[in-house]
Chain A
Amino acid sequence: ETGVTQTPRHLVMGMTNKKSLKCEQHLGHNAMYWYKQSAKKPLELMFVYNFKEQTENNSVPSRFSPECPNSSHLFLHLHTLQPEDSALYLCASSPPGPQRETQYFGPGTRLLVL
């Protein structure tokens, strides 16, 4: 399944660095999501965008800054992260209409903060 792509696949950054994660969906969906997946914890929803508008910020620290320039692209800007932010960051998208509750995930970016 290559409908949702994420780059980079792996990222190592220091606590003072600034980096960005990119997500692109080729499925014609109108909603996009960022999730954090840490070991031994359920997937945590971070942000939701519908038609480029942010509709959910799940109490995410401001060192994570999302950007959605259009319905096909989603970014997560990172700055002054902490080691506990190391995790797999997953992007997902979902279609409008009756299938809107079904989300399709990208392969994720494995982030390590040193």
Chain B
Amino acid sequence: TQLLEQSPQFLSIQEGENLTVYCNSSSVFSSLQWYRQEPGEGPVLLVTVVTGGEVKKLKRLTFQFGDARKDSSLHITAAQPGDTGLYLCAGAKSYGKLTFGQGTILTVHP
């Protein structure tokens, strides 16, 4: 079983603070996706990273794929209450099979 370790599991911060979520594995992935999920809803895709060392920015969110394609990070600058949710990373190793991390529950307090 390929494991994708996501940390931290819980994060509670004040509005305006910065944060980083990590996703680590001993396996190499062909691509890695980040999703955000709100209570009672399905995960919504934020970004897909494919190339080792790739950095993608989505407004205040910065995603990085490790050089060896085994790890990834999500950095949020100046967090807002609307960023609250469950953040999931998922690595793709073969067609149709994603391995998900256990998720990071982020709470941003006003």
Contacts and interface: CB of A to CB of B under 8 A. Distances in A.
Contacts of B33: 101-103
B97 interface: yes
A48 B96 contact: yes
Contact size range, B = 20 to 34
B96 A41 contact: no
A105 B96 contact: no
Given A1-B44, A4-B42, A43-B88, 9 more contacts: A41-B102, A42-B100, A48-B96, A50-B95, A56-B96, A90-B42, A102-B31, A103-B33, A103-B98
Interface of B: 4, 30-31, 33, 35, 40-45, 48, 88, 90, 92, 95-103
Interface of A: 1, 4, 6, 31, 33, 40-43, 45, 48, 50, 55-56, 90, 92, 94, 99-108, 110
